[in-house]
Structure 1
């Protein structure tokens, strides 16, 4: 599945969440990630995220789609991290 993940964390936890999300998804902008991920890997990511978060003050939002092609992405201004599919 294709996901867009957005989080809002206390500044004391932002670094840990950034490091965690980069292991699973592509960073595209401050506190925003996107990419293909399996259901199992997403559950794993969320389990680790819950260990970092304070669910009373922090938030994490995930938008899911079957595949990237179902979404139309438009960037206005400078793209923070241009994704490149070349290996």
Structure 2
């Protein structure tokens, strides 16, 4: 499945979340990641995040879709990280 993951973590935990998400998804902007991921790997990511997140202060929002081409993405301004793969 294709996901867009957005998080808002406190200062002390934000770097941990950034490093965790980079292991699973493509970083596209501050606190925003996207990419193809299996349901099992997504559950693993969320489970690991819950180990250090403060649920009364931090949040994770996950938008799910079948494939990346099912959504339109428009970038205005500089693209932080180009993830297109050219063959």
Question: TM-score band (shorter)?
Answer: over 0.9
Q: Which residue of 1 aligns with 2:35?
A: 35
Q: Aligned residue pairs: how many? A: 87
The offset of 1:68, in angstroms, is: 0.5
Structure 1: segments with no counterpart, 5+ residues: none
**Can you list the C-alpha shifts for 1:20-60, whole angstroms capped at 9, x where unaligned?**
00000000000000000000000100100111210000000
Q: How does 1:12-27 map to 2 (within 5 A)?
A: 12-27=12-27
What is the CA distance between 1:85 and its match in structure 2? Answer: 1.2
Q: Encode CA deviations 1:1-38: one digit per residue, 9 max, x unaligned.
A: 00000000001001000000000000000000000000
User: What TM-score do you get using the length of structure 1 for normalisation?
Assistant: 0.96
RMSD between superposed Cα atoms in Å: 1.0
Are 1:60 and 2:60 counterparts? yes
Structure 2: 5+ residue stretches without partners: none
